[in-house]
């Protein structure tokens, strides 16, 4: 009888780590089954505890845009580690990384490096409140900005009422200033600003919402976000932890600027790709706002490992590789070929399917058309999604273990990997349970 080392490790892990994982989505609770414990990864692949190879469309939830173990990144990390792991003092490489990010994202004049997207988003909210002297913030249903208390909120009863905590341990008064609105709903947005505009510090949004799979903010909706923030003196904060340096070198904001010349958010939150797989994130924006941060200004923010010298080496080497001419054109074409291949397989199997992608980020739905908001995303038949997930997994294709998560293609994914994935999907779709 063959031993399943993933199962053994999962049972062992559950004895010392809550749920056996260090982040909930890894536990496969939404899709069922046993999480794959990764032994090693290289390029577009990882191998699990049983030695089974998978084509990896998660890539650490976005950071591994070059694929695992890119030689130039590996060399940079190995070299940096020899010079020391952490100093708690400034280094030249932090300045180089800040300059590289600022060069790629024109809306950012200054930034602060931190260690996670949660920390970056939390700090951006505090800074927005400190800079404006206002308490209230808007977020959108289906958008996730990390697990800071003020952002663990679900929509209130009425559209313009404040939210309720989504987690135990968050007292209602902590989220009393957080308004949760439906994504892509201009009327709800206008009502919220009409009622609370004078108190509004910030509107935080995932421009392409990867935490409800892949839902774009429409251009008219994004235009109103920008207009209403400007009109009421609130800061428009783009959470580009997932989309930054993933959908384009300039992030999703550069995609919107193509439709609205001159479009810029006031602040941007970054993570994932800028660390290249090491713990590193950032938040940045206009100088006048950023200079409100300690030690210059009254808004406190700090971190022992912020700007860590090994992480900045990893991030800088990653950004250098993805800044090469034509990198995103090629990555975008490869990702589109995956979506069109899956669409063809679904049509062949008579399965309702739609998908979308931008750069190296994609999403697909077992729905006839792209959903504009979280309510519609969740109309997906969960049993069918889970059957497809496991059908792909059994065939060595690792996609997101939840229907509200996005997928990621790296520049290490070959045309053959895409073809193998489409073939696996065609076989898996042929046997899906009825909707
Ligand atoms: P972290 O604290 O996990 O580094 O970043 C939080 C965060 C902030 N903003 C956006 C848009 C994000 O997508 C994330 C984290 N993304 C999830 C995937 N949906 C990370 C995976 C996980 O939670 O394990």
The question of whether 149 is a catalytic residue gets the answer no
pLDDT at residue 158 in the model: 65
pLDDT at residue 161 in the model: 67
Instruction: Report how far ligand 1's centroid is from the alpha carbon of 135 (Å).
Output: 24
pLDDT at residue 208 in the model: 98
Catalytic residue among 185, 272, 374, 404: 272
Q: Which atom of ligand 1 is nearest to the CA of 143?
A: 11
Question: For the segment 372-382, what is each residue's pLDDT rounded down to a tens digit?
Answer: 999 999 999 99
pLDDT at residue 142 is higher than 70: yes
Which of 150, 209, 241 gets mutated to test ligand 1 (max ligand atoms within 8 A of its CB)? 241
pLDDT at residue 63 in the model: 98
pLDDT at residue 107 in the model: 98
Q: Which atom of ligand 1 is nearest to the CA of 116?
A: 4
Q: For the chain, what is the HEC assignment?
A: CCCCHHHHHHHHHHHHCHHHCCCHHHHCCCCCCCCCCEEEEEECEEEECCCCEEEECCHHHCCCCCCECCHHHHHHHHHHHHCCCCCCCCCHHHHHHHHHHHHHCCCCCEEEEECCHHHHHHHHHHHHHHHHCCCEEEEECCCCCCCCHHHCEECCCCCCCECEECCCCCCHHHHCCEEEECCCCHHHHHHHHHHHHHHEEEEEECCEEHHHCCEECCHHHHHHHHHHHHHHCCEEEEEECCCECCCECCHHHHHHHHHCCCCCCCEEEECHHHHECECCEEEEECHHHHCCECCCCCECCCCCCCCCHHHHHHHHHHHHHHCCCCHHHHHHHHHHHHHHHHHHHHHHHCCCCEEEEECCEEEEECCCCCCCCHHHHCCCCHHHHHHHHHHHHHCCEECCCCCCCCEECCCCCCHHHHHHHHHHHHHHHHCCCCC
pLDDT average, residue stretch 267-281: 98
Q: Is residue 61 in contact with ligand 1, taking CB distance under 6 Å?
A: yes
Q: Which atom of ligand 1 is nearest to the CA of 26?
A: 24
Instruction: Report how far ligand 1's centroid is from the alpha carbon of 5 (Å).
Output: 28
Q: Is residue 239 in contact with ligand 1, taking CB distance under 6 Å?
A: yes
Which of 57, 61, 210 gets mutated to test ligand 1 (max ligand atoms within 8 A of its CB)? 61
Which of 146, 204, 269, 276 gets mutated to test ligand 1 (max ligand atoms within 8 A of its CB)? 146
Instruction: Report how far ligand 1's centroid is from the alpha carbon of 214 (Å).
Output: 14
Q: Is residue 145 in contact with ligand 1, taking CB distance under 6 Å?
A: yes
Q: Is residue 405 in contact with ligand 1, taking CB distance under 6 Å?
A: yes
Mean pLDDT of the residues in the chain: 96
pLDDT at residue 160 in the model: 59
Q: Is residue 116 in contact with ligand 1, taking CB distance under 6 Å?
A: yes
Catalytic residue among 54, 144, 256, 374: 144
The residue whose CA is least distant from atom 23 of ligand 1 is 23
Q: Is residue 118 in contact with ligand 1, taking CB distance under 6 Å?
A: yes
Q: Is residue 241 in contact with ligand 1, taking CB distance under 6 Å?
A: yes
The residue whose CA is least distant from atom 7 of ligand 1 is 146
Q: Which atom of ligand 1 is nearest to the CA of 269?
A: 9
Which of 19, 30, 62, 144 gets mutated to test ligand 1 (max ligand atoms within 8 A of its CB)? 144
The question of whether 239 is a catalytic residue gets the answer yes
Q: Is residue 139 in contact with ligand 1, taking CB distance under 6 Å?
A: no
Query: Given pLDDT bands bounded at 50, 70 and 90, which one contains residue 308?
Result: very high
Q: What is the pTM (predicted TM-score) of this model?
A: 0.98
Catalytic residue among 185, 239, 266, 376: 239
pLDDT average, residue stretch 130-146: 97
pLDDT at residue 284 is higher than 80: yes
Question: For the segment 344-372, what is each residue's pLDDT rounded down to a tens digit?
Answer: 999 999 999 999 999 999 999 999 999 99
Q: Is residue 144 in contact with ligand 1, taking CB distance under 6 Å?
A: yes
Question: For the segment 39-70, what is each residue's pLDDT rounded down to a tens digit?
Answer: 999 999 999 999 999 999 999 999 999 999 99
pLDDT-above-90 percentage for the chain: 95
Q: Which atom of ligand 1 is nearest to the CA of 118?
A: 2
Question: For the segment 64-121, what is each residue's pLDDT rounded down to a tens digit?
Answer: 999 999 999 999 999 999 999 999 999 999 999 999 999 999 999 999 999 999 999 9
Question: For the segment 151-173, what is each residue's pLDDT rounded down to a tens digit?
Answer: 999 876 665 567 789 999 999 99
Evaluated on CA atoms 212, 34, 241, 255, the torsion sign reads negative
Instruction: Report how far ligand 1's centroid is from the alpha carbon of 300 (Å).
Output: 23
């Amino acid at each position: 009888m063959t031993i399943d080392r993933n199962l053994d490790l999962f049972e062992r892990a559950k004895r010392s780590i809550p749920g056996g994982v260090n982040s909930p989505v890894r536990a496969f609770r939404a899709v069922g089954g046993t999480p794959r414990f990764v032994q090693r990864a290289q390029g577009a692949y990882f191998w699990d505890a049983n030695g089974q190879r998978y084509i990896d469309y998660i890539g650490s939830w976005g950071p591994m845009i070059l694929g695992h173990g890119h030689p130039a990144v590996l060399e940079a990390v190995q070299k940096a580690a020899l010079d020391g792991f952490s100093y708690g003092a400034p280094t030249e490489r932090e300045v180089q990384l800040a300059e590289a990010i600022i060069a790629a994202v024109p809306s950012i004049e200054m930034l602060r490096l931190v260690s996670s997207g949660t920390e970056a988003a939390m700090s951006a909210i505090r800074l927005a409140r400190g800079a404006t002297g206002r308490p209230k913030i808007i977020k959108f249903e289906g958008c996730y900005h990390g697990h800071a208390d003020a952002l663990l909120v679900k929509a209130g009863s009425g559209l313009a009422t404040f939210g309720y905590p989504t987690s135990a341990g968050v007292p209602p008064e902590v989220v009393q200033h957080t308004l949760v609105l439906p994504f892509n709903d201009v009327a709800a947005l206008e009502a919220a600003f009409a009622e609370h505009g004078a108190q509004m510090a910030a509107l935080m949004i995932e421009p392409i919402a990867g935490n409800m799979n892949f839902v774009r903010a429409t251009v008219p909706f994004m235009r109103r976000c920008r207009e209403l923030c400007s009109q009421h003196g609130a800061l428009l904060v783009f959470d580009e932890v997932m989309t930054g340096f993933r959908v384009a070198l300039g992030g999703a904001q550069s995609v919107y600027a193509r439709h609205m010349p001159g479009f810029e958010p006031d602040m941007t939150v970054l993570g994932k790709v800028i660390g290249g797989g090491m713990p590193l994130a950032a938040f940045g924006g206009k100088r006048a706002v950023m200079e409100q941060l300690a030690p210059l200004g009254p808004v406190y923010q700090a971190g022992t490992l912020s700007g860590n010298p090994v992480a900045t080496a990893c991030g800088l080497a990653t950004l250098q590789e993805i800044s090469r001419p034509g990198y995103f054109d090629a990555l975008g074409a490869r990702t589109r070929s995956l979506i069109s291949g899956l669409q063809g397989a679904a049509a062949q199997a008579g399965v309702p399917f739609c998908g979308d992608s931008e750069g190296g980020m994609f999403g697909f739905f077992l729905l006839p058309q792209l959903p504009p908001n979280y309510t519609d995303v969740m109309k997906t038949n969960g049993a069918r999604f889970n059957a497809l997930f496991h059908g792909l997994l059994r065939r060595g294709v690792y996609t997101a273990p939840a229907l509200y998560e996005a997928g990621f293609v790296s520049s290490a994914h070959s045309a053959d990997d895409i073809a193998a994935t489409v073939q696996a999907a065609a076989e898996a779709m042929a046997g899906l349970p009825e909707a």
